[in-house]
Structure 1
Amino acid sequence: MKYKILLVEDNAASLRVLKRIIGKINLDVAVATSLTEAKLIFEQSTPESFLCAVVDYTLPDAPHGEAIDFAIQSYMPVIVLTSQSDEDVRNRILSKAVVDYIPKQNRQVFEYLSRLLIRLQKNKQVGVLVVGKRPSSRNKVCELLNRHNFETYQENNTLSAVNSLYNNKQIKLVITENELQDESGIELVAAIRKEFSKEELSIIGTSNLSNPALLAKFIKSGANDYLRVPYCHEEFFCRVLQNIEHIEQIELIRKTANMDYLTGLPNRRHFFEEVTTQMHRGLESMCLALLDLDHFKKINDTYGHDCGDAMLKEVAKLMKKHFSEFSMSRFGGEEFCVFFPNTTLEQAKQKLDVFRTQVESKKIRRKRQSIGCTVSIGVTSKLAEKVETMLSHADECLYKAKSLGRNQIVCYISK
C-alpha cells in the first residue's frame, strides 16, 4: 500500500521543499494551506491511506496549533513544523500527542523530516513488547509507541512475555519495568537472554527508583539500555529508535553477508549452514537439486555479460516464485541449488519440472532480439548425513542430464 502524507502548510517556499522531500521517498502528498482545507481533504479520503500529517503550527485559520488537535483527533500521527523557537511553544507542542516537532531553521531539519517519514513507514512492521505489573503504566508506554506506528504488545509476567516473543517474530524491542506480576524485570531480562541474543532483540529496562545499582543490574543481566522514570518523550523515542535501528543494522549486515549480490538469492555459504541445520533434525525424507543453465557461456559471448546478468536475475525471480518455502541458493556462475526437506522424489521432480518449463518459455529482449535459455537439473533423494554427499549425487545426475541433451531432469533414486 502506498501511503499519503497530509501536508498542512501555508508558506509557498516551504511547500515546494516539503513536496519534493516527500516525493523522493515515494509517498503521495495531499496539500492544504489552511485547517479548513485539511478537514475537507480528510473527509474526502480514506483515513487508513494517510501515513501521518505534517502540520505547520501557525496557519491563517489556526494560529495556535488548532490544526494539530484536528489531526490527532483524526487518529493520524502528527509531525509539527514551527518557525517559532521559544520554550513556551515547544512545551505547548510536546504537551500534545505528537510524533515530533521540527523547528524550520535550516535545510538540515528537512533531512530529519525525510528520515522520520521513512521510519514511520518501517515502524508498521516493527513490534514492541511492553512488560509491567500495572496496566495503566503499560498503556502509557504503548500510547507513546503508537504515535510512531509501532505494533505494541503487553504482558505482565515472565512466562507470557517469553511466549509472546516466540509467537510474534516482528518484535524487535522489549521495554520492561522492574516490578512484574511474578518476578523482577531483571529476572525477566535474564530469562529472555537465555532464548534471544542481543543481536536478535533489544531490551530497555525502566524504573522510577533512583538507584544506580539497579541500572547496573539491568545491563549486567543483558539489557541494552535503561530509562529512569519519569522521562521526557523526546528521550524515550531517541532510546527506542536507537535500539531498534541497532537490531535492523545487524539484520542488514547478516542479510548482506548471506546474499548473492546479483540475484538476491542466498549464497553458497548460507545455503550450507541452513541445510546442515535442517539435516540434523532427522528428516524422514529429503531431496536436493542442482540446476545449471544450458549454454550460458554462449549468451555471455554473443550478447555480452549484461545480458547474461539479466538472464540470471530472471531465473532467480522464477526460483523465488517456485521454491520460496524451501532453501535455495545461487551456487556460483550459472549454477543454482534447492533443498527440499520432508519431500518425496516425485514431489520434488514435479515442482522442478514446472520450473524447468517456465525457464524454457522465459525470454528477455536485447538489441531487438528475444533471448532465452533452458536448464538442466540433477536431483537426489538419497539420504545422507552431509550436504556435500547429496551434492555429489545431484552433480552426477546433472552431468547425465547434460550428456543426454540438456533441458531435462535426471534423478538419483534412494536405495
Structure 2
Amino acid sequence: MDRYEKYRQHFLKNIRKRLEEWENVDEIGHQDVYRLLHSIAGTAAMIGMHDIGNYARKLMEQWGENEEKKWKASDVKERLAPLFQLCYEQQIGDVSQGEQGTKQGDEPTVLLIDDDPSFLMYVKEHLEQNGWYVVAIADPVKAVASFYDVRPDCVVIDIHMQTKTGFEVLTFLKEKLKQQFVPMVMVSIDDRKETRMKSYEMGADDFIPKPFDIDEFIVRIHRQLERKQLIDELLLLDELTHVYNRKYLKQAYEQLKSDWHRTHEPFCLAVLDIDHFKRVNDQYGHLIGDVVLKQFAQFLKTNVRAYDIVIRFGGEEFIVLLPATDASEAFLVFDRLREQFERIPFQSGDTTFSCTFSTGIVEVNDPSKPIGYWIELADSALYEAKNTGRNCVVLAKQQKASYRRTVKVAIVDDDAIVRAIVADVVQKMFAKEKVALDLRAFKDGEQFITSEWHRGKESCLVILDGVMPKMDGLEVLQQLRSQKDSSRYKVIMLTARKSEHDIARALELGADDYITKPFKLLELEARIRHMLKRMN
C-alpha cells in the first residue's frame, strides 16, 4: 500500500456518501453539484488520482458556477456517470470497454447442465473466452424448465446427476425438439462402451468422457455449432433466394408467440408481392425473373433489422415478421423500402427495367389465433394494395390496441459508486429499447427483500452483489428461490474474482448468470440483454 492509499479510500468513501444522499432525492441544487466537483478536482490530483481530478475540472467548466437552478437527480447522475466510472476503475480495476472478445448479445448460446458447480465454472469460463454465451445450470429440473427461455444452439449434459439423469434430460429434450435441430453432447466420467452406445442410441450427437482436454472440448463444441448452422440453412433456407422458406414460418411464429406471452409487445406480419412479376417472366424470361427474385430477397435481408425474419412464401410472394413492432412503425419501414426498391435497375441484354412491390401489413396482438388468421388479414390488405394501383403499403383493419411491457430491474449493491454506474448502463441500454424501465437501487440485501416494489406478477431482473452487510447476496438469492413465484426473478450475481466458493454456491441456489468484478460495462450490458430474452 502506497502512502496515499488511505487518503484515496477516504476520498472514495466521501463520494459514496454523497451518492447515497442523492439516491433519496428527486432534485439536486446546481451549487451542490458544483461543490462536489470542486472538491473532487482539488483533492484527486493531490493523492495521485489525476484522471479523476482532470475530468472533474472539465465538468466544472461545463457546469458553470453561478446558477441557482435545480436539476433532476437522474439528469445529474447521467452527466456524472463517466466520473463515477473513473472512480470505480480506481477502486477495483480497469473496466475498459475496448478489449477484444467483448460480447454483444447475439453470440451462439451453449447450455451446460451438470450438478457439479466446479465443472460448470471451469467450462463456462473457457467457452466464454471463445466468444460464446454460456448458461450454466446445476439443477437438471430447472434446466429442462428453462430450455425454451435459453434457446441454446448446443446443449452439454452430464449423465450422472442426483435429481435427474442426463439420459432423462436427453429424452425429454429430444421429444420436444422434433421440429428443430439442437446438438446434444453427453459428458460422463463413465466411459464404458455400453454408456457411449446408449448415448448415441438415444440421440446424442457426441459423447465426451471426463476428464477431458479443454482445447479438444472447445473444438468439438465448435464443430457442433457449425453443424447446427449448416443444417438450419439446408433445411430452412429457400434454395433460390437464400432467405427462409415457408417451412420455417410456423417455427418463427411459435417463437414470436412465446415472446409475446413474456413481453406483451405487438409484432407485425407483412405479406409482400412483386408487382406484375408474370410480365417480367414473359418479357425477359424465367432466368431474369430468378435474378429479380434473388435481388429482391437480398434487398429485404439487407434493409430490415438483423432480428426481422424474411421468408419466401411462394413464387414472388414473401412474408416478413417484425418482432417488437407496431403497425405504424411497420408501415414506415415498408414505405421506405418501397421507394428504395423501385429505383434499383435490372438488366436484360440491352434493356434496363425496374420493379415495384406491394405490401399488406397486420399487427399481431392476439397470438392465440393461428398464423393463418393473420396471413389472411395481411393478404386482404395486400389485395387492397393491388387494387389501388400497386406499389403501395396498406394496413389491415386495426385490432385492439396493444400495450408495451414494463421491465423491473433491481440493482442490489452496498457500493454507491457501483450502483451509479450499473444504473447508467441499464438506463442507456433501455433508451434503445421499446419497453418501459422501472429501475430501483438498493444499498443492501435486507432493503431489497423487505421492499414491496418487486412483489406482484411482473418479471424482475435482479443484479445482485454477492457480499453485503446485513444480508448478503447468497441469502437474498436463497430467499428468492424459496418463494412460490421464484421463476419471476432472473438473477445476475456480481462476484469477486477469487470467490469460487460463492460462485459455486450461487449456481447451486439457482443464479441465472454471474459476472466477476471488475467487469467491463459492455460485458454487463450483453449479459443483461441475454437475460431479458429469457425473462418470463
TM-score normalised by structure 2 residue count: 0.42
Q: In the alignment, which of 246, 269, 272 is matched to residue 268 of structure 1?
A: 246
Name the structure 2 match of 1:291. 272
CA distance, structure 2, for counterparts of residue 323 and residue 137 of structure 1: 38
Residue of structure 2 in register with 1:89 after alignment: none
Match of 1:396 among 380, 405, 418: 380
What letter matches 2:269 in structure 1?
A: L
SS at match of 1:288: strand
Q: Which residue of 349, 354, 363 maps to 1:372?
A: 354
- Shift, 1:171, TM fit: 5.8
Q: How much does 1:345 deviate?
A: 1.8
Q: Which runs of 5+ in 1 are unaligned?
A: 1-123
What's 1:322 paired with?
Answer: 303
Distance 1:138 1:297, change over 3 A: same
- Between the aligned partners of 2:333 and 2:124, the Cα distance in structure 1 is 48
Identity %: 25
Question: Which whole-Å deviations, capped at 9, do the CAs of 1:135-171 have from their partners, x for residues lacking one?
Answer: 699979998x999x79696969457995999998776
Asked if the contact 1:285–1:383 (Cα under 8 Å) also holds between the matched residues in 2, the reply is yes
SS at match of 1:356: helix
> Aligned letter for 1:409?
V
The aligned amino acid for 1:353 is: D
Aligned to 2:182: 200
Superposition pairs of residues 50-69 of structure 1, within 5 angstroms = none
Cα pair 2:170 2:184 within 8 Å, conserved: no
Where 2:342 maps in the other structure, the secondary structure is helix
CA RMSD of aligned residues (A): 4.7
Please list, as runs of the form range in 1=range in 2, the aligned pairs for 1:114-193 lying within 5 A after superposition. 157-158=138-139, 162=143, 172=154, 174=156, 176=158, 183=161, 187=165, 190-191=168-169
In the alignment, the residues of structure 1 paired with residue 364 and residue 116 of structure 2 have an alpha-carbon distance, to the nearest angstrom, of 54
- Per-residue deviation, residues 277-312 of structure 1 (Å, max 9, x unmatched): 534745563433221111222222222222221111
Aligned to 2:391: 407
Partner Cα distance (2:202, 2:269) in 1:
43
**Aligned match of 2:234:** 256
Deviations 1:309-338 (A, max 9, x none): 111112111211233423331121111122
Q: Decide whether the 8 Å contact of 2:154 with 2:225 is kept in 1.
A: yes
Question: Separation in 2 of the partners of 1:226 and 1:392?
Answer: 47
2:514 alignment counterpart: none
Structure 2 unmatched runs, 5+: 1-106, 400-536
**Whole-angstrom CA distance in 2 between matches of 1:399 and 1:230:** 62
**Cα pair distance change 1:346/1:318, threshold 3 Å:** same
TM-score when normalising by structure 1: 0.52
Post-superposition CA distance 1:333-365 (Å, at most 9, x none): 111122334432211111110111111111133
Aligned partners of 2:238 and 2:245 also within 8 Å: yes
**Relative CO higher for 1 or 2, CA cutoff 8 Å, sep ≥ 6?**
2
Residues 1:351 and 1:204: Cα distance change in structure 2 (over 3 Å) = same
CA distance in 2: counterparts of 1:400 and 1:140, whole angstroms: 56
Distance, in Å, in 1 between the alignment partners of 2:316 and 2:242 is: 14
Query: Structure 2 vs 1, CA of residues 192 and 345 (structure 1 numbering), >3 Å: closer, same or farther?
Result: same
* Aligned twin of 1:300: 281
Aligned residue for 2:419? none
Amino acid at match of 2:289: G
Alignment deviations for residues 27-67 of structure 1 (CA, whole Å, 9 cap, x no partner)? xxxxxxxxxxxxxxxxxxxxxxxxxxxxxxxxxxxxxxxxx
Name the SS of the counterpart of 2:243 in structure 1: coil
Kept after mapping to 2: 8 A contact 1:329/1:336: yes
- Alpha-carbon distance change, 297 to 169 in structure 1, aligned in 2, over 3 angstroms: same
Q: 1:387 to 1:326 in 2, by over 3 A?
A: same
Native 8 Å contact 1:130 1:141 kept in 2: no
The one-letter code of the counterpart of 1:392 is: E
Aligned length in residues:
282
Structure 1 residue 263 displacement after superposition: 0.9
8 Å Cα contact 1:276-1:386 kept in structure 2? no
Q: Tell me if the contact between 1:260 and 1:266 (Cα under 8 Å) persists in the aligned partners.
A: yes
Q: SS at 1:262's partner residue?
A: coil
Letter of the aligned partner of 2:386 in structure 1? Answer: K
- TM-aligned CA deviation for residue 395 of structure 1: 2.1
Preserved contact between residue 385 and residue 392 of structure 2 (Cα < 8 Å): yes
Structure 1 counterpart SS, 2:313:
strand
Corresponding residue number in structure 2 for 1:363:
345
Return the alpha-carbon distance in structure 2 between the equivalents of residues 351 and 269 of structure 1: 25
1:120-141 Cα distance to aligned partner (Å, 9 max, x none): xxxx979696969596999799
The amino acid of 2:345's aligned partner reads: K
2:432 is aligned to none
Match of 2:457 in 1: none
336, 354, 358: which one pairs with 2:318? 336
The answer to whether the Cα contact below 8 Å between 1:328 and 1:337 also exists between their aligned partners in 2 is: yes
Cα displacement string for residues 235-266 of structure 1 (whole angstroms, at most 9, x for unaligned residues) = x95x9867865665465344322221111111
Q: Within 1, Cα distance between the matches of 2:116 and 2:156?
A: 14
Q: Does structure 1 conserve the Cα–Cα contact (< 8 Å) formed by 2:268 and 2:327? A: yes
2:241 alignment partner AA? T
Q: Name the CA distance, whole Å, in 2 between partners of 1:154 and 1:406.
A: 48
